[in-house]
């Protein structure tokens, strides 16, 4: 069955309530661990169907944000999902406190029970109205960004489709494109400030209702930080400031020479070569065909995976004006199928979809038949390893996408990946400061961002731009609105993926086998234990960042 043929059924909350009520009662009365686990498998099937319907509705809304039916369905799911989460929590409390806990823990795993514990601390019936309001505010931000109509050179573009001009070879073109983007955000910055101010206050109120001092601890629990907490993240950011920031400053000096400018301005930030960034050759259809060839050659497992995706039309990657910006992979439990959403726009980012998002999807595919749902309940610092590492494992096939500029792409990708690490840490520290001081005004939040720019991106010159130079850049970073404290997961995963890069340069096959092993492990164990099991260093361990910088300097700096 193709994705377009997957049926959508609106979730009936009466049926949801009846199911959970009966399941809780039956589970409480179970006479053995075996009986309780058999009931738990009914939960897998029912909850999997709920997730499948919710994700189909979200995907079809993302594909066309102006289509009325799925826009209303998305609003409905935003409204009911906190209640579903509460029902699920009420049920898992029975499992958590079961007299057959030892048997269930053996079947489901210790990680699952730790995650249950965090979930219990993250939701309560009394905050459901606040969670519904939070969802509505996030949707309001998404709709505002998706509906952007930016005039440029006689045409109208959304943010995704403007991207090719933001990275144009011609400096004047990209300067004007960035100005057009700046003017759009300047026109909506007050509304975005209002949305974010309400989000911060809403999330803080949720935290207070649950007995927290502020939202930070609640946010960590919602991100299922089951292996590390704030202190470890702060120490990680400290190491990045000490080692990666000076390294990236050197990269920027080299990049300045490469693109032939006397001073780097913000509109130069994403450009790596004087003759422009390498762009993929061929049509979107030809890019997908090259992806198929690449994955057939990479390994038997990836060949099978990509055939599965193509045959079932599990990609929607063409950029369109009414499409939600960005890209993501998700999984439909009912059909045991990953799917990928993206916006091709004629830049190298189109190829990143075929590597990064396919890394997520590949991991979902190789574990699609896992009986224990909790074993695939990935936390994001682990999930992003699969995607970011796949970007490196596919380096050997970039000539299929970039022709004689494949070497340029590889240099750009490596420099960009390294440069991202301080930025990702900046986003994380910004959010910690904001939620530590929720009473700050919008202007004070923008000042915080300006100050952090000097620490994490000291080379960046916004050239007096009315929006960006006044600390507004963060308003285009959707993760800050969608999932507080998510962004650091990309950074942690980058550090692990770079270890795979170092490894594969010495022994590709050995590195790939360990990567495949990590994918198959999913979340059967805790984060740092899994890294150790496949011979990778924890990002939190002192010395890991310094080691990586030494290894990567020889690959990047002339």
What pLDDT is stored for residue 324 in this prediction? 84
Task: Return the closest-CA partner of residue 118 out of 430, 492, 437, 374.
Answer: 374
Q: What ranges in 215-345 are assigned the alpha helix state H?
A: 215-222, 230-239, 245-259, 284-298, 300-311
pLDDT in tens, 497-543: 999 999 999 999 999 999 999 999 999 999 999 999 999 999 999 99
What pLDDT is stored for residue 160 in this prediction? 85
Kindly give, in sequence order, each residue whose CB lies less than 8 Å from that of residue 262, ignoring residues fewer than 6 positions away: 256
Kindly give, in sequence order, each residue whose CB lies less than 8 Å from that of residue 180, ignoring residues fewer than 6 positions away: 150, 151, 152, 162
Does 46 reside within a domain?
yes
Does 69 reside within a domain?
yes
Domain that holds residue 97: 3-128
pLDDT in tens, 198-229: 999 999 999 999 999 999 999 999 999 999 99
* Three-state DSSP state, 229: coil
Assess whether pLDDT exceeds 80 at residue 484.
yes
Does 307 reside within a domain?
no
What pLDDT is stored for residue 323 in this prediction? 85
Quick one: DSSP state of residue 230?
Answer: H
Assess whether pLDDT exceeds 90 at residue 281.
yes
Task: Return the closest-CA partner of residue 91 out of 36, 131, 53, 150.
Answer: 36
Does 68 reside within a domain?
yes
- Tell me the percentage of the chain whose pLDDT exceeds 70: 100
Does 43 reside within a domain?
yes
Does 113 reside within a domain?
yes
pLDDT in tens, 343-363: 888 889 899 989 999 999 999
pLDDT in tens, 25-63: 999 999 999 999 999 999 999 999 999 999 999 999 999
Assess whether pLDDT exceeds 80 at residue 558.
no
Assess whether pLDDT exceeds 90 at residue 327.
no
Q: Say how many domains are in the chain.
A: 1
Would you say the C-alpha torsion 114, 115, 116, 119 has a positive or negative sign?
A: positive
Number of other CB atoms surrounding residue 535 within 10 Å = 12
Assess whether pLDDT exceeds 90 at residue 322.
no
Question: What tokens were used for 418?
Answer: 């390294």
User: How does the average pLDDT of the chain come out, rounded?
Assistant: 95
Does 243 reside within a domain?
no
Does 67 reside within a domain?
yes
Mean pLDDT in residue range 445-463: 96
């Amino acid at each position: 069955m193709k994705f377009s043929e997957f049926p959508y059924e609106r979730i009936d909350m009466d049926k949801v309530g009846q199911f959970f009520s009966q399941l809780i009662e039956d589970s409480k009365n179970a006479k053995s661990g075996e009986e309780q686990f058999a009931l738990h498998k009914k939960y897998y099937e029912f909850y999997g169907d709920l997730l499948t319907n919710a994700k189909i509705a979200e995907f079809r809304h993302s594909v066309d944000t102006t289509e009325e039916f799925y826009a209303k369905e998305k609003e409905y799911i935003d409204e009911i999902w906190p209640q579903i989460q509460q029902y699920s929590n009420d049920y898992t409390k029975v499992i958590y406190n079961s007299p057959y806990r030892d048997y269930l823990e053996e079947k489901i795993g210790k990680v699952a029970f730790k995650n249950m514990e965090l979930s219990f601390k993250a939701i309560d019936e009394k905050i459901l109205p606040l969670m519904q309001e939070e969802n509505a505010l996030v949707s309001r931000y998404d709709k505002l960004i998706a509906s952007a109509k930016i005039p440029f050179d006689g045409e109208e573009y959304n943010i995704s489709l403007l991207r090719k001009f933001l990275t144009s070879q011609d400096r004047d073109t990209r300067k004007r494109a960035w100005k057009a983007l700046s003017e759009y955000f300047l026109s909506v910055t007050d509304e975005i400030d209002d949305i974010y101010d309400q989000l911060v206050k809403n999330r803080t109120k949720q935290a207070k209702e649950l007995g927290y001092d502020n939202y930070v601890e609640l946010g960590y629990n919602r991100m299922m930080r089951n292996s590390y907490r704030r202190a470890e993240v702060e120490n990680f950011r400290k190491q990045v400031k000490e080692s990666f920031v000076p390294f990236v400053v050197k990269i920027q000096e080299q990049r300045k020479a490469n693109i032939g400018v006397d001073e780097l301005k913000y509109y130069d930030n994403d450009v790596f070569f004087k003759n422009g960034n390498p762009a993929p050759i061929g049509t979107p259809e030809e890019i997908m065909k090259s992806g198929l060839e690449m994955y057939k050659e990479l390994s038997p497992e990836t060949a099978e995976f990509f055939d599965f995706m193509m045959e079932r039309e599990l990609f929607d990657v063409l950029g369109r004006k009414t499409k939600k910006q960005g890209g993501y992979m998700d999984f439909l439990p009912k059909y045991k199928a990953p799917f990928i959403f993206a916006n091709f726009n004629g830049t190298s980012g189109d190829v990143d979809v075929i590597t990064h998002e396919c890394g997520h999807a590949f991991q979902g595919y190789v574990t699609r038949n896992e009986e224990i749902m909790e074993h695939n309940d990935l936390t994001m610092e682990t999930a992003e390893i699969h995607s970011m590492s796949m970007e490196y494992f596919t380096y050997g096939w970039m000539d299929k996408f970039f022709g004689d500029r494949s070497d340029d792409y590889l240099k750009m990708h490596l420099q960009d990946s390294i440069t991202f690490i301080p930025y990702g840490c900046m986003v994380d520290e910004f959010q910690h400061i904001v939620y530590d001081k929720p009473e700050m005004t919008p202007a004070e939040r923008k000042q915080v961002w300006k100050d952090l720019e000097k620490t994490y991106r000291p080379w960046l010159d916004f050239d007096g731009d009315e929006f960006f130079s006044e600390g507004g850049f963060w308003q285009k970073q959707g993760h800050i609105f969608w999932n507080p404290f998510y962004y650091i997961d990309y950074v942690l995963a980058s550090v692990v993926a770079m270890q795979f890069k170092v490894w594969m340069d010495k022994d590709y096959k050995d590195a790939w086998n360990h990567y495949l092993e990590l994918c198959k492990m999913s979340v059967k164990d805790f984060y740092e234990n899994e890294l150790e099991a496949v011979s990778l260093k924890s990002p939190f361990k002192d010395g890991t960042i310094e080691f990586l910088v030494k290894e990567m300097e020889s690959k990047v700096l002339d």
